[in-house]
Structure 1
């Protein structure tokens, strides 16, 4: 392959790194996998030794639900931390331990402040409200969905299939809901909306990430004086990120405690973000001896994107834990009030954060230090696009897969880079037919993997949830 064609390798190289990262993910996830097997065995033992019938049914069900929900929180926190922290650690933007702590705090904040919409959607938005007000069927359905999700996540990880917790939970709730309340009690329109978002969200992420790369490359990376361009644009981009994100968080706080915080917080954060970003950038440029490398330029902005990614992840994925638990704790009252207890969101966020702190180190070291997916510039575009899409989905109460959205961003960055390269050098020799076919196969394989995981997960978890719910209702005497 000639040097002139080397730039076409970028997307395929990044996709290849995802494949290696997925293998590392399965290896690093092994301790959590064994913990999942132990949790499922413990839950089975509880049911077999005590039974779910009689006066102890609600207590036993809640205890089993807490055990499974706790493991799911650890699994989510340990499995997804590399999406946000891996590139930043690999780029040297932050150390491993401070990064883990920072992401864990951001996840708790996102879960507590912004996790209510997704939680409410999963807890009560997929069923007819009147159906939830009849007896203890709703808590049993949610317990079935929790256990079905845990079984599938554990089994899929064991066979090496990358699956989404959000997809698993939606399928489990749908299947258990049909068993508990009947086919017509499920809001199929809401399920269709969620499924369509699973398709659209990666495409939006790809568009946003690609547009960011085109803008930043034309303004900074390809500028005649990259150092001066970075001094002008990077602080502006960082200030905009800090200001908008702080304003969003302030609005969420206002909804909890009242007051008028958004405007002053937004203005102050924008100004502070500009000053801090400028100082960090000057320090990076000085440390590089005046060589404005992409790695040095984007380190400060990448750090802000990591915080946003952690917050977005906590906001969206907390519903997979807090949604079922809210119904199990609050019962039919949730369907009438639509209120999610703050302590449930905070506890679920803490479980995710604990998984990040206890089990995330191993994966981040492997992905971030050994097989970093992207350089700092491309990682910044993907991280920011993913955070924006996931935060928007969370605000609308739509559960999505953070990993799938991030992969969409990687495709967008890769295609944008290739488009710019072809536009810059129109005389480039065409790729050999064999090379073109090889790259098409690489790219199609990643799309196929995501599609297969999506297609298989929902019906399988629905069947698992339905079967478990049928058994639990029979033992409870409600069938």
Structure 2
């Protein structure tokens, strides 16, 4: 008999230790890779500004502002874009890689093709321009607003809370405006409208998403003959989505290309509704032919519309929200070059490029964290539920535009996710027998080691409370940071 060699335990232990150290080193490098690339982009933005403007006493301020604008754009991409593609990822209609590519392409296209060529220097008209007529004071106020908004969105991304970048910029402008010109400089009625949107946006988005989910469950997924119901209603739902997004893009996403009134946009939407219905009806019949009569087959019919919705939302978001990154930057560029404070300025093409590519880089480098939060961690989504979220986002923006309300796309989309989750809780409780409810709750409570749980929760309350708290304090937190930064900058300059 050949004697087997005895295992060398010391060698095995050393090998395991070495493998562990190599894995830890690789993970550490990956953690620092994204911030390093982001920092390089910020520096690159400053270098681009220096090459365009040259080196002079005025250009130093613009170069620094370009770097800050790039930093702000990175944070918008990391936080805000998740609302557009998160539901599609959570529903497994898109992979994370596919979502990042689609969002980056359509965000950049929306910003460069349809982003506004004129932007308000005082965000949303909340500060009287005459109150900060001094160019130097105005420049430091815009610096403070840009820094505070970027820092706040960065902090929110770090804790995993999707917040409104528009509200962050508004808070930054308010804080800097009050610090520069006093509390009377603020247009408080406008601020009241913005504050009201904190409540209206998520509630309206949640209610509309829940209504669509109830309709689909009642008339399609819970019907006895699901495929026959799908052939009847899914083309209608796709047509509603096509019409809604046509109106959404006409009103919000194509302002630079062409100015379209809401009435004309509604006619465009009606035309797209009819055309989409006529096109999608035979397509749905072909897709549903031979499929089993179950809910999974119904959900699969919503996958392609959901991907299209994610792309269209990204395009419209890029067209609108790039101004949050480049608005204060464009204001600083104009004021430094012209030596005057105006209510609106044109956006130089290089400034728009910084904003567009910054949003895309931020999404690719840091976006997956918030995409998973919105799409997977708040509540469980499938293509049907995610479709309701996307459709709700478009319809809510249309209603808000008609009413003249300043709403947040972030609040609408996340509110729609909440609405879907809470509706599922209520619907599940209503349609399930008491004995089955008690048995399933008891099983879940036993798994969690808790005897106090009384209701089956399909929305994670910890995430819900964290996000709501972040929404409530966004404007005051950004305003406070901005005021502090303004006092520091203004003090250093005098």
Shorter-normalised TM-score: what interval?
A: 0.7 to 0.9
Task: Report which structure shows greater RCO (CA 8 Å, sep ≥6).
Answer: 1
In structure 2, runs of 5+ residues without a counterpart are 1-28, 47-54, 442-450
Aligned to 1:383: 390
Shift of 1:452: 2.7
Aligned to 2:477: 460
Shift of 1:66: 1.2
Shift of 1:41: 9.7
In structure 1, runs of 5+ residues without a counterpart are 1-26, 45-54
Shift of 1:334: 9.6
Instruction: Judge conservation of contact 2:119–2:344 (CA < 8 Å) in 1.
Output: no
Instruction: Judge conservation of contact 1:82–1:360 (CA < 8 Å) in 2.
Output: yes
Aligned to 1:47: none
Aligned to 2:228: 228
CA spacing shift, 1:242–1:95, aligned 2, 3 Å: same
Aligned to 2:313: 309
Residue 435 of structure 1 pairs with residue 442 of structure 2: no
Residue 285 of structure 1 pairs with residue 288 of structure 2: yes
Counterpart CA distance in 1 for 2:149 and 2:96 is: 30
Q: CA RMSD in A?
A: 4.3
Structure with more of its chain in helix, by fraction: 1
TM-score (norm 2): 0.73
Shift of 1:29: 8.7
SS at match of 1:78: helix
CA spacing shift, 1:401–1:35, aligned 2, 3 Å: farther
User: C-alpha deviations, 1:80-126, integer Å up to 9, x for none?
Assistant: 44433244245453465554443334334554677659953853612
SS at match of 2:470: helix
Aligned to 1:326: 330
Instruction: Judge conservation of contact 2:96–2:368 (CA < 8 Å) in 1.
Output: yes
Instruction: Judge conservation of contact 2:330–2:345 (CA < 8 Å) in 1.
Output: no
User: C-alpha deviations, 1:432-454, integer Å up to 9, x for none?
Assistant: 782227849x7553342123323
Counterpart CA distance in 1 for 2:129 and 2:424 is: 48
SS at match of 2:301: helix
CA spacing shift, 1:58–1:125, aligned 2, 3 Å: farther
Aligned to 1:408: 415
Query: Structure 2 matches for 1:126-137, cutoff 5 A?
Result: 126-137=126-137
SS at match of 2:224: coil
CA spacing shift, 1:41–1:400, aligned 2, 3 Å: same
Counterpart CA distance in 1 for 2:401 and 2:387 is: 21
User: C-alpha deviations, 1:397-440, integer Å up to 9, x for none?
Assistant: 736261x4333222322332333344445766664782227849
Query: Structure 2 matches for 1:17-56, cutoff 5 A?
Result: 31-33=33-35
CA spacing shift, 1:164–1:118, aligned 2, 3 Å: farther
Aligned to 1:8: none
User: C-alpha deviations, 1:281-316, integer Å up to 9, x for none?
Assistant: 345435856656243122133223213432343355
Count the aligned residue pairs.
Answer: 439
Greater Rg over alpha carbons, structure: 2
SS at match of 2:453: helix
CA spacing shift, 1:292–1:116, aligned 2, 3 Å: same
Query: Structure 2 matches for 1:170-209, cutoff 5 A?
Result: 170-209=170-209
Counterpart CA distance in 1 for 2:305 and 2:417 is: 18
Counterpart CA distance in 1 for 2:222 and 2:329 is: 51
Counterpart CA distance in 1 for 2:484 and 2:43 is: 18
1:448 aligned to 450, 453, 465, which one? 465
